[in-house]
Amino acid sequence: MKIIVGLGNPGEKYKKTYHNLGFIAAEDAAIELCLVFKHKKCRALVAEGYIGGEKVVVAKPQTYMNLSGESVKELLGYYKARPEDLIVVYDDYDLPKGSLRIRKEGSAGSHNGMKNIVEELGTEKFARVRIGFKGEEAIPLIDYVLSGIAKEDYPLFAETVHAAGLAAADFARGEDLDAVMRKYNKR
């Protein structure tokens, strides 16, 4: 059993914001795994199937970012999965723009969605793919994360987000996480 969760906010107005980079990566992972989002379970849009005989779920929580953990906890319960079966893909302001960091576990940092997941699951011991987007903008963080991605940055983010989706897909296929980290971690 493997569960990929991409973090974001539902709704058209958030679609092309930094806070939805996780949703976009989850969509790339689903495409790579030939899965289609056609169900709603556990307050998430879900694509599911079998890869090499193992159940794989790709989910986009619809709870809004700060309550992502509620949906993730429900998903793990519904599918009888463990935190080590989970990989979460999300935007991270603590990393430089366009960077990609995959980790086996760790703190939530400054990300409220991750803080809620850690709180709901009661552990930091699950994999994560962090997509960096720190820029030079002089606006409050809450406004910046919900702002639209600058057109000149589309190519950079398209490449990084696609790599994040591929990394999550490799995890779902059962590839060793250390190998996934070596393959995709970049500055």
In this prediction, residue 138 carries a pLDDT of 65
DSSP track, 50-67: EETTEEEEEEEE-S-GGG
DSSP 3-state of 112: helix
CA–CA separation, 116 vs 113, rounded Å?
Answer: 5
Average pLDDT, 10 consecutive residues per value, the chain (187 residues): 97 92 98 97 98 96 97 98 98 93 94 97 98 79 80 93 98 97 88
CATH number at 143 reads 3.40.50.1470
Active site residue 19: yes
Q: What H or E segment, with its residue span, contains residue 92?
A: strand 86-96
Place of tokens 């949703």: 23
pTM score of the predicted model: 0.95
Rg (Cα) of the chain, in Å, rounded? 15
Q: Which domain holds residue 134?
A: 2-184
Candidate list 19, 39, 111, 162, residue with the active-site label: 19
Looking at the 3D structure of the chain, how many domains does it have?
1
